[in-house]
């Protein structure tokens, strides 16, 4: 039955025309009510790319959005596309709640991804490069180099490239080389014979990975402005020098993307760190999943590459420019143009923390809530620094997911251990693409005397927790930090996240028990206030949604407002549908993936989903439940995804101080008011930019929070 006929039937019951036994039962688990996870992920990348066209962003920030899109797409192919291909390869295909097979999903991905990549290069060539030239920022093509610039490039090639570049002729004794994931390479057409009389006609030139992909020409060889050239142009210009005595008929860029997901056989594992080190070596040479090649490359060479990598035509992306636009991030290193960037700001501090030296005294009096980057991450670092130096602090325990081995957080832990305190770090070695850095971090902490554990095999430790034990007036008191983001100071300037600093006994005891579970063995301990994945968070979340539904059925006011990064868990989606059917109004602020279909009559007409993409990466996870006037607010390290709720160690913590709970609610409301950076999810799966209504003023939630919380 169609959704329209279902709505008619429901309305007939409400109007007394049909008894409830005649109302068709809607199967909320039907695939028609679920969007495909991977295609929803692509929709998010499309929203990122659309920021390039948004002139409300400064020009260099628009260029950065194009780079971010490239980086996102790289990871999408390395992990998500690679995973689908692996399912097909090994005959382990699974169909998700959306009912789409891996093969069908890959087909739709190819169709959409090709359009997005074409859009990206069109925007770069037709919009961004001309706009940058208007600001005297030039990407100089070889044909436009002056004689003086050619001489400088020749010297640069002789000095920097020639000693390290390694062209590889292809013949029976020189098979096709094993090329590193995402490396820049060239396929070369040759004519003539070499010194040994070989006439292969083809060679591969890997670009040296040690050299920058973007080079700034010195001002003395230019006529003003910032003049940049690509390393690929330098190599192209001197291709003949790489093959002396032979004729280079053509030279074309290409790049291969490989499966970069790590597979650890955890059942047979004895040492996680050792196993991970072994797997990291293989990441660079996983199965090929995508070929990017210059669009002027002859078709026979493209087909040769596809055959060599075992790829099909749909997995080939012919691009009108450099094959790795992520490298354009380096523009910020070469160009000093603050007028083309967002203005700087100083993150704010709550009034309770201003001019206070002893942070333990501040937190002992009341809970402190920080919203980064609008408010400073420094108090979290300073609390650890004080703990390291304070003779009354006996122990520190902390989870580390992404922090950086050289961060201030790590330096404080090292200092504390060297001062003789009991310091324990739960390091998640499997934080994707940070594995090598986390292995280095573990070694550094162990050398300083920190007790390092790697969490629980089979469950990534994604919770963000610090526990500090301090002796005060002859008794032990605990202080805790709980966060929605990572312990990475640089990320705290770019990602929106909440931090809670508290000394509340029950919460501190809960955190203490979770650490005991992570570092030791035994049955799950009873947790009083925190919701704790993989044990209680999923059920508690379903219970909170169900309670709102029961309140609505009883004629009570019911409302859910939640902000997180992704929604994929089918039972949670079904619970939200049931709440919507009961009359609960639901607003979801979801930055990225959303598998829930909003606005379906009789199913989800009370649910609205919006995504905000702006200057900062939205990363906060905060949930509000009306609870018939007894409002409850939570913040969490977990998204509403299968992996977070069922397969990871996560925390969800209540915000109990009334003014802090009200503050989070008002900050979430600000995002509902946003008509500058907000996108509304439509019932067909597309996103539409939130339009400014006639007579309505422009409102940007991130700018509003900057004015409210930061020192702009």
Phi and psi based region of residue 389 (left: phi greater than 0; alpha: psi -120 to 50; beta: remaining): alpha
Q: What's the pLDDT at 279?
A: 55
Letter string b/e over residues 123-136, b meaning 16 or more CB atoms within 10 A of that residue's CB: bbeeebbeebeeee
Percent of the chain whose predicted confidence (pLDDT) is above 70: 90
Tell me if 292 sits within 8 A of 118, measured CB to CB. Answer: no
> Once rounded to an integer, what is the mean pLDDT over residues 340-369?
93
Q: Is 321 helix (H, G, I), strand (E, B) or coil?
A: coil
Query: Which DSSP category does 629 fall into?
Result: G
Tell me if 626 sits within 8 A of 600, measured CB to CB. Answer: no
Q: Is 112 helix (H, G, I), strand (E, B) or coil?
A: helix
Q: Distance between CA 131 and CA 137 in Å, rounded? A: 9
Contact residues for 363 (Cβ-Cβ < 8 A; gap 6+): 383, 479, 501, 502, 503
Q: What's the pLDDT at 6?
A: 40
Phi and psi based region of residue 134 (left: phi greater than 0; alpha: psi -120 to 50; beta: remaining): alpha
For the cut 60, the answer to whether the pLDDT of residue 384 exceeds it is yes
Structure-block tokens of residue 136: 């005297």
> Once rounded to an integer, what is the mean pLDDT over residues 323-349?
93
Model pLDDT for residues 282-299, shown as the tens digit of each residue: 556 689 999 999 999 999
Residues involved in catalysis? 462
Q: Is 620 helix (H, G, I), strand (E, B) or coil?
A: coil
For the cut 60, the answer to whether the pLDDT of residue 265 exceeds it is no
Structure-block tokens of residue 279: 């797997």
* Report for 250-264, 434-448, 691-705: range of highest mean pLDDT: 691-705
* Range with lowest mean pLDDT among 92-101, 146-155, 258-267, 514-523: 258-267
Contact residues for 590 (Cβ-Cβ < 8 A; gap 6+): 563, 564, 565, 566, 567, 609, 610, 611, 681
Q: Distance between CA 346 and CA 368 in Å, rounded? A: 19
Query: Which DSSP category does 640 fall into?
Result: B
Structure-block tokens of residue 538: 């999923």
Query: Which DSSP category does 167 fall into?
Result: -
Q: What's the pLDDT at 187?
A: 96
**Sign of the dihedral through C-alpha 131, 133, 138, 139:** positive
Q: Is 535 helix (H, G, I), strand (E, B) or coil?
A: coil
> Once rounded to an integer, what is the mean pLDDT over residues 675-679?
96
Q: What's the pLDDT at 14?
A: 37
Structure-block tokens of residue 647: 């397969």
Residue numbers in the known binding site are 72, 402, 432, 495, 591, 619
Q: Distance between CA 71 and CA 80 in Å, rounded? A: 14
Domain topology for 139-340: polyphosphate kinase like (3.30.1840)
Tell me if 373 sits within 8 A of 616, measured CB to CB. Answer: yes
Q: What's the pLDDT at 1?
A: 33
For the cut 80, the answer to whether the pLDDT of residue 275 exceeds it is no
Kindly give the pairing relationship between strand 226-230 and strand 137-139: parallel
For the cut 60, the answer to whether the pLDDT of residue 705 exceeds it is yes
Kindly give the pairing relationship between strand 288-294 and strand 464-472: unpaired
429: confidence class by pLDDT, cuts 50, 70, 90:
confident
Contact residues for 169 (Cβ-Cβ < 8 A; gap 6+): 190, 194, 198, 200, 202, 203
Strand partners, 375: 348
Cα-Cα end-to-end distance for the chain = 55
**Sign of the dihedral through C-alpha 144, 148, 151, 152:** negative
Q: What's the pLDDT at 630?
A: 95
For the cut 70, the answer to whether the pLDDT of residue 16 exceeds it is no
For the cut 70, the answer to whether the pLDDT of residue 432 exceeds it is no
* Range with lowest mean pLDDT among 256-265, 581-590, 609-618: 256-265
Average pLDDT of the chain to the nearest whole number: 90
Maximum CA pair distance of the chain?
94
10: confidence class by pLDDT, cuts 50, 70, 90:
very low
For the cut 90, the answer to whether the pLDDT of residue 171 exceeds it is no
Model pLDDT for residues 465-510, shown as the tens digit of each residue: 999 999 999 899 999 999 999 888 888 899 999 999 999 999 999 9
Q: Where are the alpha helices (DSSP H) in 390-423?
A: 408-418
Q: What's the pLDDT at 390?
A: 96
Model pLDDT for residues 204-243, shown as the tens digit of each residue: 999 998 899 999 999 999 999 999 999 999 999 999 999 8
Burial of 310 (0-12, 13-18, 19+ CB in 10 A): exposed
> Once rounded to an integer, what is the mean pLDDT over residues 322-330?
93
Strand partners, 611: 679
Q: C-alpha distances in angstroms, 45 versus 38, 40, 358? A: 11, 9, 44
For the cut 90, the answer to whether the pLDDT of residue 424 exceeds it is yes
> Once rounded to an integer, what is the mean pLDDT over residues 111-132?
97
State the residue for tokens 């400088």: 152
Closest CA to 612 of 35, 50, 33: 50
Q: Distance between CA 695 and CA 413 in Å, rounded? A: 54
Q: Distance between CA 559 and CA 624 in Å, rounded? A: 8
Q: What is the DSSP string of 40-55?
A: HHHHHHHHHHHGGG-T
Q: What is the DSSP string of 11-77?
A: HHHHTTSS-GGGSPPP-TTSGGGB--HHHHHHHHHHHHHHGGG-TTS-HHHHHHHHHHHHHHHHHII
Contact residues for 111 (Cβ-Cβ < 8 A; gap 6+): none
Closest CA to 39 of 86, 104, 89, 118: 104
For the cut 60, the answer to whether the pLDDT of residue 191 exceeds it is yes
Closest CA to 574 of 593, 558, 597: 597
CA of residue 45 relative to chain centroid, distance: 11
Burial of 645 (0-12, 13-18, 19+ CB in 10 A): buried
Contact residues for 121 (Cβ-Cβ < 8 A; gap 6+): 319, 320, 321
For the cut 80, the answer to whether the pLDDT of residue 543 exceeds it is yes
For the cut 90, the answer to whether the pLDDT of residue 454 exceeds it is no
Q: What's the pLDDT at 282?
A: 58
Q: In CATH terms, are 357-526 and 532-709 the same topology?
A: yes
Each domain of the chain, given as residue ranges in start order, spans: 139-340, 357-526, 532-709
For the cut 70, the answer to whether the pLDDT of residue 172 exceeds it is no
Residue scoring higher pLDDT (424 or 456): 424
What does the CA dihedral 566, 429, 442, 358 come to, rounded to 10 degrees?
20
Q: Does domain 532-709 have CATH number 3.30.930.10?
A: no
Domain topology for 357-526: Endonuclease; Chain A (3.30.870)
Q: What is the DSSP string of 113-133?
A: HHHHHHHHHHHIIIIIHHHHH
Q: Distance between CA 329 and CA 148 in Å, rounded? A: 27
427: confidence class by pLDDT, cuts 50, 70, 90:
confident
> Once rounded to an integer, what is the mean pLDDT over residues 144-164?
95
Q: Distance between CA 199 and CA 190 in Å, rounded? A: 8
For the cut 50, the answer to whether the pLDDT of residue 121 exceeds it is yes
Angle in degrees, 0-180, between the axes of helices 537-553 and 570-582, rounded to the nearest 10: 10
State the residue for tokens 């509340």: 504
Letter string b/e over residues 206-234, b meaning 16 or more CB atoms within 10 A of that residue's CB: bbbeebebbbbbeeebbeeebbbbbbbbb
Model pLDDT for residues 590-599, shown as the tens digit of each residue: 999 999 999 9
Query: Which DSSP category does 325 fall into?
Result: G
């Amino acid at each position: 039955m169609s959704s329209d006929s279902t709505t008619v039937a429901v309305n007939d019951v409400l109007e007394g025309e049909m008894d409830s036994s005649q109302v068709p039962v809607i199967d909320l688990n039907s695939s028609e009510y679920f969007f495909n996870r991977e295609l929803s992920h692509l929709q998010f990348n499309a929203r990122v790319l659309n920021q390039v066209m948004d002139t409300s962003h400064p020009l260099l920030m628009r260029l950065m959005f194009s780079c971010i899109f490239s980086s996102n797409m790289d990871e999408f192919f390395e992990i998500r596309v690679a995973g689908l291909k692996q399912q097909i390869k090994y005959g382990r295909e699974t169909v998700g709640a959306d009912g789409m097979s891996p093969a069908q999903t890959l087909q739709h991905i190819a169709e959409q991804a090709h359009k997005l990549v074409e859009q990206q290069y069109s925007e770069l060539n037709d919009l961004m490069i001309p706009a940058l030239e208007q600001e005297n920022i030039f990407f100089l093509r070889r044909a436009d180099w002056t004689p003086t610039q050619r001489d400088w490039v020749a010297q640069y090639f002789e000095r920097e490239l020639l000693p390290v570049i390694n062209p590889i002729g292809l013949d029976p004794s020189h098979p096709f080389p094993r090329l590193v994931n995402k490396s820049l390479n060239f396929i070369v057409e040759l004519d003539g014979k070499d010194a040994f009389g070989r006439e292969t006609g083809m060679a591969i030139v890997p670009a040296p990975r040690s050299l920058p992909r973007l080079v700034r020409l010195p001002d003395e060889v230019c006529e003003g402005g910032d003049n940049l050239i690509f390393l690929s142009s330098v190599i192209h210009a001197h291709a003949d020098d790489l093959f002396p005595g032979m004729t280079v008929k053509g030279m074309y860029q290409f790049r291969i993307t490989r499966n970069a997901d790590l597979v650890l056989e955890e059942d047979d594992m004895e040492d996680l760190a050792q196993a991970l080190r072994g797997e990291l070596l293989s990441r660079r040479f996983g199965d090929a999943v995508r070929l990017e090649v210059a669009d002027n490359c002859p078709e026979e060479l493209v087909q040769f590459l596809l055959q060599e990598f075992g790829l099909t035509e749909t997995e080939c992306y012919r691009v009108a420019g450099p094959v790795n636009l992520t490298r354009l991030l380096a523009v910020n290193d070469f160009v000093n143009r603050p007028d083309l960037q967002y203005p700087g700001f100083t993150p704010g501090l709550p009034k309770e923390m201003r001019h206070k030296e002893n942070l333990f005294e501040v937190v002992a009096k009341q809970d402190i809530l920080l919203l980064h980057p609008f408010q400073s991450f420094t108090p979290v670092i300073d609390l650890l620094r004080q703990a390291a130096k304070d003779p009354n602090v006996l122990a520190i325990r902390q989870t580390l997911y992404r922090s950086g081995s050289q961060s201030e957080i790590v330096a404080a832990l090292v200092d504390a251990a060297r001062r003789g305190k009991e310091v324990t770090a739960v390091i998640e070695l499997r934080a994707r693409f940070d594995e090598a850095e986390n292995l280095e971090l573990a070694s550094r902490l162990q050398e300083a005397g920190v007790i390092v554990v790697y969490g629980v095999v089979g469950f990534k430790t994604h919770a963000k927790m610090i526990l500090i034990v301090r002796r005060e007036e002859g008794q032990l008191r605990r202080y805790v930090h709980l966060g929605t983001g990572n312990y990475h100071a640089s990320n705290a300037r770019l990602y929106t996240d909440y931090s809670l600093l508290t000394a509340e006994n029950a919460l501190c005891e809960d955190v203490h028990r979770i650490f005991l579970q992570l570092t030791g063995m035994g049955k799950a301990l009873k947790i009083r206030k925190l919701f704790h994945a993989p044990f209680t968070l999923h059920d508690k979340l379903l219970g909170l949604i169900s309670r709102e539904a029961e309140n609505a059925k009883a004629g009570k006011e019911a409302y859910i407002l939640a902000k997180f990064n992704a929604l994929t868990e089918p039972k949670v989606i079904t619970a939200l549908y049931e709440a919507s059917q009961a009359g609960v109004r639901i607003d979801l602020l979801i930055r990225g993936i959303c598998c829930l279909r909003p606005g379906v009559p009789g199913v989800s007409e009370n649910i609205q989903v919006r995504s905000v993409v702006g200057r900062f990466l939205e990363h906060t996870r905060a949930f509000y439940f009306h609870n018939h006037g007894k409002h409850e607010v939570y913040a969490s390290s977990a998204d509403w995804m299968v992996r977070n709720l069922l397969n990871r160690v996560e925390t969800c913590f209540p915000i109990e101080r009334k003014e802090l709970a009200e503050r989070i609610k008002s900050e979430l409301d600000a995002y509902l008011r946003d008509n500058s950076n907000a996108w509304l999810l439509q019932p067909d799966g597309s996103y539409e930019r939130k339009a400014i209504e006639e007579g309505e003023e422009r409102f940007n939630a991130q700018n509003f929070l900057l004015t409210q919380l930061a020192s702009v």
